[in-house]
Amino acid sequence: MKGKDLLSISDLSGDDIRLLISDAVDTKARGWLSLLDGKVLALIFEKPSLRTRVSFEIAMRQLGGQTVYLSPAEVGLGERESVPDVARVLSRYVDAITARTFSHQTLEILASYSGVPVINALSDLEHPCQALADLLTIYEKKGELGGLTLAFVGDGNNVAHSLLLAASLTGVNFRIASPADYTVQERILYRAKGYATTSGAEIFCTEEPQLAVSGADIVYTDVWASMGQEAEAQERRAIFANYQVNGELLSLAKEDAIFMHPLPAHRGEEVDEDILNSPQSVVFDQAENRMHLQKALLAQILGGLEIPLAGYR
């Protein structure tokens, strides 16, 4: 992965994902390292963030590198300055660029003009770093990935896209329950089905949350209206009203099922308050693992980290 972009989960193979998880487990145990001493990561954010910004900044610092944060007002991608020019200029200063954008096309343009690797920290199409941290969390809690069943309840959004692709690459069965007009994109589904033929994963799409969750090992949800969709929030609340993860729905999953959410959560909407705070909830482990997975990712991309597979199979 050294020197490569990460714009989509599709930029990785199943083996790449397993290696990142193994490396993340190892770096998590080892703490602070000096693998990226002298390296600088630029953080370009069009959207506000808690976990993404802090996890990348701390990850880089724990690896011995540094970060430069660039807010929307400072850069103005495509407005104050063209995206190609931003890419060309930053490539002269830093060793990699992490970008959190509204449009996935902005990331693609950045990467095409950048002389250094570009990492997707969230776009309207995918959220690969979140999905990778989620698989790390699942592996920690379940001890495996292949053969598990993940049920996603809610909007077929960027998080759902990356999870679907990551699951299909690693042999995790993926079920998604969404209203008819809010399913995952057909091109993402088509790609995932191709990966599933190799990994053995099963993919199931339905409008019925109960069907998706029944017997699942992991139950996952996300907000019904993402950033940039605020004008649709009220309409979406009505459409998704039957898609809340509550005690009744979660009881259909396996007894030892875990509950996941990428945060921030709208408590009382997509998830009942009691579920978010229950022993089954691993949402704060997910949040922590953003940092650990991103340490492994940065080390691979910027340093070609070589860590033994630490017993991962």
The number of CA neighbours under 13 Å toward the Cβ of 253 is: 27
Q: Do 185 and 276 fall within a single domain? A: yes
Q: Do 157 and 97 fall within a single domain? A: no
Domain count, the chain: 2
- Asked if residue 182 is part of any domain, the answer here is yes
Distances (CA, A) of 9 to 125, 129, 200, 246: 11, 8, 18, 30
- Note the pLDDT tens digit of each residue in 135-182: 999 999 999 999 999 999 999 999 999 999 999 999 999 999 999 999
Q: Do 89 and 144 fall within a single domain? A: no
- Asked if residue 122 is part of any domain, the answer here is yes
Task: Give pLDDT, residue 311.
Answer: 38
- Asked if residue 312 is part of any domain, the answer here is no
Residue 204 belongs to domain spanning: 130-286
Query: Token pair for residue 313?
Result: 């199979």
Helix segments in 46-205, DSSP class H: 51-62, 72-75, 83-93, 104-113, 128-142, 158-170, 186-199
Strand-by-strand arrangement of the 258-260 sheet: 203-206, 173-177, 149-153, 218-221, 258-260
Residue 204 has pLDDT above 80, yes or no: yes
**What φ, ψ does residue 100 adopt, rounded to 5°?**
-120, 105
Residue 226 has pLDDT above 80, yes or no: no
How far is residue 202's CA from residue 212's CA, in Å, rounded to a whole number? Answer: 12
Q: Do 241 and 96 fall within a single domain? A: no
Q: Do 297 and 199 fall within a single domain? A: no
- Asked if residue 310 is part of any domain, the answer here is no
**In the structure, what pLDDT confidence band is assigned to residue 1 with cuts at 50, 70 and 90?**
confident
- Note the pLDDT tens digit of each residue in 256-268: 999 999 999 999 9
| Burial letters 31-56, b for 16+ CB under 10 A, else e | eeeebbeebbbbbbbbbebebbbebb
Q: Do 150 and 279 fall within a single domain? A: yes
Q: Do 208 and 232 fall within a single domain? A: yes
Q: How big is the CA angle at 282 (ends 156 and 138), to the nearest 5 degrees? A: 70
Q: Do 143 and 239 fall within a single domain? A: yes
Q: Do 278 and 296 fall within a single domain? A: no
- Asked if residue 4 is part of any domain, the answer here is no
| Burial letters 69-106, b for 16+ CB under 10 A, else e | ebeeeebebbeeeebeebbeebbeebbbbbbbbebbeb
Q: Do 39 and 135 fall within a single domain? A: no
Query: Token pair for residue 234?
Result: 């009220």
- Asked if residue 163 is part of any domain, the answer here is yes
Residue 313 has pLDDT above 60, yes or no: no
User: In this structure, is the dihedral angle defined by the CA atoms of residues 53, 304, 127 and 202, taken in order, positive or negative?
Assistant: negative
Strand partners, 81: 77
**In the structure, what pLDDT confidence band is assigned to residue 72 with cuts at 50, 70 and 90?**
confident
- Asked if residue 309 is part of any domain, the answer here is no
**Residue 214 CB burial class (10 angstroms; 0-12, 13-18, ≥19):** middle
- Asked if residue 209 is part of any domain, the answer here is yes
What is the chain's alpha carbon radius of gyration, rounded to the nearest angstrom? 19
- Note the pLDDT tens digit of each residue in 43-68: 999 988 899 999 999 999 999 999 99
Q: Do 164 and 84 fall within a single domain? A: no
Q: Do 108 and 175 fall within a single domain? A: no
Give percent above pLDDT 90 in the chain.
87
Which of the residue ranges 19-33, 139-153, 196-210, 220-234 would you say has the lowest mean pLDDT? 220-234
Distance of CA 133 to the CA centre of its chain: 6
- Residue of higher predicted confidence among 73 and 250: 250
CATH number where 167 lies: 3.40.50.1370
